[in-house]
A = this chain, B = another copy of it.
């Protein structure tokens, strides 16, 4: 094993265990054991346990950042929106431990706190921009104050759909249906503000999606 490979092995093993059992319930010994390396070796590659979680969070950022960028001169389209949200939720699902134990990680690991806080603010700005875009292209009709509330509520839904699914007793994120339903729910937030034909288009899309 070269240096790079073991480090990656520890990361992928940790991700698996964190997702499966929750980050607070997985010790460095568990990780080393599952990865078939010694505990000492693990600490050759990582300074601390939090370091592993932080590195995984950085990997998450690399996955999620490109999905959040919105092209300046593009007219938003309902189906694109749907796909985009689906891809975002998929990426979140692969790092679901981050969201399950978000607030504990957030207060414990300062670097993660800073980065996550920034991410949220960017997401919020991005959502406000999206809403404005939909409005300017005549697809959506909404007033200033409601835009803010809508962006905020969307962001909350996007941040906590994973722990919500768990707590509602949903069959788990291995099952793709949870993801689809969560995506659909978020888009239903937009529905009442959409004009025709986009409103109907969204409803039809939701219907099709549900059957697939």
Contact = CB atoms under 8 A, between A and B. Distances in A.
Interface of A: 22, 24-25, 100-104, 106-108, 116-117, 120, 145-146, 149-150, 152-153, 156-157, 159-161, 163-164, 166-169, 184-185, 188-189, 191-193, 203, 206
Contacts of A24: 24, 104
A103 B167 contact: yes
Given A25-B107, A146-B192, A189-B189, 19 more contacts: A100-B103, A101-B103, A102-B163, A102-B167, A104-B104, A106-B166, A117-B169, A120-B167, A145-B203, A146-B188, A146-B191, A149-B184, A152-B185, A153-B157, A153-B185, A159-B164, A160-B163, A160-B164, A192-B192
A191 to B, nearest CB: 7
B185 A149 contact: yes
Contacts of A149: 184-185, 188
Nearest to A203: B145
Contact of A167 (B25, B117, B164, B167): B117
A141 to B, nearest CB: 10
Contacts of A184: 149
A179 to B, nearest CB: 15
Contacts of A192: 146, 192-193
A185 B24 CA distance: 31
29 contacts: A22-B103, A22-B107, A24-B24, A100-B103, A101-B101, A102-B163, A103-B163, A104-B104, A107-B166, A116-B167, A117-B167, A145-B203, A145-B206, A146-B188, A146-B191, A149-B185, A149-B188, A150-B188, A153-B153, A153-B185, A156-B157, A156-B185, A159-B160, A159-B167, A160-B160, A160-B163, A160-B164, A192-B192, A192-B193
A22 B104 contact: yes
A153 B188 contact: yes
Given A184-B149, A185-B153, A166 B22 contact: no
